[in-house]
Amino acid sequence: MDLRSELLKSIWYGFTALDLERSGKVSKSQLKVLSHNLCTVLCIPHDPVALEEHFRDDDDGPVSSQGYMPYLNKYILDKVVEGSFIKENVDELCWTLTAKKNYRPDKNSCSVVPERDAFRLWCLFNFLSEDKYPLVMVPDEVEYLLKKICMAMSVELNCVELEDFLSQDTVQQGGITVWGFLDLMNSGKITRGIDKDIISMAVEEVYREIVGDVLKEGYLWKKGQLRRNWKERWFTLRPSYLSYYTGEDRKDCQGSIVLDENCCVEVLPDRDGKRCMFCLKTLSKTYEMSASDTKQRQEWTTAEAAGPAGGAGAQAGRAGAPEGGPEAGPGPPGAGRAEAAAAVRAAPAGPGGPAAGGRGGEERGGGKTCIPEREDRLHLRSLLWQARVSMQAEMALKEEEAQRQKKRIQELEEMQKRLEEALQQEIKARLDEEAFRLAQAGLLAEEEEKMKALMSLQEEQEEYILKTQREKQELKQEMEAKSRALEEAQRQLEEVRANRHRVDQDVVPFRSRFSSALWPRQAAQRKLRQASTNVKHWNVQMNRLMRPIGPGEKRPSLGSSFSTFQVPSQRDPGLRLIRRA
C-alpha cells in the first residue's frame, strides 16, 4: 500500500468527522481549517490563494467528498514528499477529529483500553483494512490482528468470543468497522484478566511492527567514531535504515545508518572487554557493535544482512499475502495460504478418493494410463507437499514462539519473585528505618534536654559575667575616683609646700631681725638668772651666819626668808613677737 492510500484513509476519517449531519457533505469553512491543518502536519507550504479560490463563498452549499478530492489531490497530496513529515502526526490529527464524534467508550468500565492504545488500534485497523470506502476489515484480518496482539501478550486467543462477535449479522453483511473493533476490545472479552500495562505493551509492539515497519529493536553497545568509546544505545531496524537513540523512549536520535546493497555485516572476535561483537560496513564508515549474547548477535546480523530486500519482503508479508514458506512467518490470510487451503480441501480423504479411482481405472485399463490425469495427480501431490511444508514451517514457528513465550513467562515469574523479595526487603528496611527514626527521635529529645540545661548554664554564666563586669566597672570607677582624689591631695600638698616655701622665704629676714632684737634680752635674762642664783647662794650663807644650828634642832626652811622675792614677769614686747613666730 502506497503512501497516498495510507494518507487518504486517515483523511477520510477526518472528513467524515466534520460531516455532522451525516449528509456526505462538509461546510467550506471546516474544509479550510482541515486543509490548513493538513498542510501543517504534512510540512508542505500553504497556498491561501488556491484555498480561497477553490472554496469561494459564492459556491452553492457545502462540499462533498467528490468535490473536495480535486483540491486535495492537486494542492496537498501531489506536494507531499515522503520522509519530510511524520506520518503519526497526520494520524493523530485525523484521530482527534473522528474520536470526538464516534469514539465514546464507557468510562465506568474497567476494561476500557487507554486513549493512546485506542489510537494505535485505529492505525492498525486503517493499515489492514480494505482500500474501499467506508473502511472495513474482513473477519480473517481481524482474527490475524487479534492473534498478533494475543501472541505479544503470551496468551491464547479466545476463539469462542471471537466467533460470537463474527457471527453477528452486521459483521457478516458489511464487514467490521473500526468502532465495532474498538468496542470489542473495550468489552474485555478478548483481554479479560490481563493487566492494562501488558495490553499497552502488546499493542505498541504490534503497532511498531506493522505500522512502523520495525523489523527488530533493542539495546546494543556501539563504538564511537571519534572518541572510540563504547556507549549503550537503543537500535531500531527498519527495511531501509538503522536508527539508534539514547534510550528506549526514542526521543533523542543519535544517528541513522542507511541500508543499501553496498552494506555488509561481519562477525568480529571479542576485544576491548566486549563480547559478541559484529560490525556493519558501509561505503564511508564501519560501525562496531556488541550484543548481549550470541543469540542476539545472530538475530541482529541476520536482520541487518537481509538489507532492503529482506525488509521489503517482510513488509509485504505483513501488509499483503505472504507465501507459505518458513521465512514468511504467521502473516495475515492471503494468496499463499488460500492456495494451500484449496490444495488441502482438494486432497483425497481416503482410499475412496480421486487418487484411488485413478488407480482402479488404471488397473481396469490394463496398464494404460491417461497422461493428463497423471499430470494432474503430480500437480496435486506437489500442492499437497507445499501445503504440508508450509504448515510444518508455520507449526515450527508457532512452537518456537510458544517456547519463547514460555521462557518469557518464566522470566516474568522470576522477576515477580525478585520484585516480591525486593518488596519484602524494602518493607524491612522501612521498619528498620522507622525504628532508627524513633531511636533518633529519643536521642534528639535527650539532646534537646541537655541543650536546655546547657542554655540555662550559659545564661547563668552570662549573668555572672555581667555581674562581675559590673563590679569590676564599679571598682574601676572607685579606683579612678580615689586616684583623682589622691592626685587632688597631691596637688594640694604641692600647693601647701609651695606656699610654705614662699612663707619660709618671706620669714627669713624677720628671723634675722628678731634674733638680733632678742639677743640683749637673752643676755639680761642670763644675767638675771645668774643674779637670782647668786642671791639664793647669799641667802643661804646669811642664814647660816645669822643663826647657828644647835643639836637636835630643825633646820629652818630656806624659802621663808625669800618668800617676798619674785622674779619679774617677762612682759617684754620682743619676747612676745618671738613666741608668735
Are 232 and 341 in contact by the 8 Å Cβ rule? The answer is no
Q: What angle do CA 174, 179, 180 make, to 5 degrees?
A: 55
Q: What are phi and psi of 479, to 5 degrees?
A: -60, -40
Confidence (pLDDT) at 314: 39
Look at the alpha carbons of 208, 209, 214, 219 in this order and tell me if their dihedral is positive or negative.
positive
Task: Tell me 77's DSSP state.
Answer: G
Q: What are phi and psi of 511, to 5 degrees?
A: -60, -45
Cα(402)–Cα(396) distance, rounded to whole angstroms?
10
Which three three-digit cell numbers place residue 465? 559575667
Cα(247)–Cα(266) distance, rounded to whole angstroms?
25
HSE, CB side, 13 Å, CA atoms: give it for residue 113: 27
Cα(102)–Cα(95) distance, rounded to whole angstroms?
10
Confidence (pLDDT) at 347: 36
Cβ count near 73 (within 10 Å): 12
Query: Per-residue b/e over 209-237, b at no fewer than 16 CB within 10 Å?
Result: bbbbbbbbbeebbbbeeeeeebeebbbbb
The per-type count for the chain, helices as H runs and strands as E runs, is: 16, 9
Amino acid at 144: Y
Q: Which residue has the cell 561505503?
A: 283
Q: Which CATH number fits domain 217-307: 2.30.29.30, 3.40.50.300, 2.60.40.1930, 3.60.15.10?
A: 2.30.29.30
Confidence (pLDDT) at 360: 35
Q: What is the DSSP string of 92-133?
A: HHHHHHHHHHH----TT-TTPPPHHHHHHHHHHHHHHS-SSS
Task: Tell me 158's DSSP state.
Answer: -
Cα(24)–Cα(64) distance, rounded to whole angstroms?
6
Helix (H, G, I), strand (E, B) or coil at 271: strand
Helix (H, G, I), strand (E, B) or coil at 334: coil
Q: Which three-class secondary structure string do you get for 148-217? A: HHHHHHCCCCCHHHHHHHHCCHHHHHHCECHHHHHHHHHCCCCCCCCCHHHHHHHHHHHHHHHCCCCCEE
Query: Per-residue b/e over 150-187, b at no fewer than 16 CB within 10 Å?
Result: bbbbbbebeeebbeebbeeeebeeebbbbebbbebbbb
Crossing angle between the packed helical segments 65-75 and 28-41, to the nearest 10 degrees: 30
CATH class of 1-87: mainly alpha
Cα(575)–Cα(514) distance, rounded to whole angstroms?
9
Q: What is the DSSP string of 514-569?
A: HHHHHHHHHHHHHHHHHHHHHHHHHHHHHHHHHSPPPTTPPPPPSTTTTTT--PPP
Are 144 and 332 in contact by the 8 Å Cβ rule? The answer is yes
Tens-level pLDDT at each residue, the chain (581 residues) = 578 888 888 888 888 888 888 888 888 888 888 888 888 888 888 877 777 777 665 556 677 888 888 888 888 888 888 878 888 888 899 999 888 888 888 777 776 788 888 898 889 888 888 778 888 888 888 888 888 888 888 888 877 777 777 777 566 566 788 888 888 888 877 777 788 888 888 888 888 888 888 888 899 999 988 888 899 999 998 888 899 999 888 888 888 888 888 888 889 988 888 888 999 998 888 999 999 888 888 888 888 776 554 444 434 443 333 333 333 333 333 333 334 333 333 333 333 333 333 333 333 333 333 445 545 555 555 565 566 666 667 777 888 888 888 888 999 999 999 999 999 999 999 999 999 999 999 999 999 999 999 999 999 999 999 999 999 999 999 999 998 999 999 889 999 989 888 888 887 777 677 677 677 777 888 888 888 888 888 888 777 776 655 566 555 554 444 444 444 454 555 555 555 65
Cβ count near 90 (within 10 Å): 20
Amino acid at 155: V
Radius of gyration of the chain (CA): 66
Residue 218, H or E segment: strand 216-223
Confidence (pLDDT) at 127: 87
- Cβ neighbors of 404 (< 8 A, separation 6 or more) are none
Confidence (pLDDT) at 307: 54
Strands 216-223, 253-258: pairing is unpaired
Q: Which residue has the cell 501431490?
A: 381
Q: How far is CA 504 from the centre of its chain?
A: 106
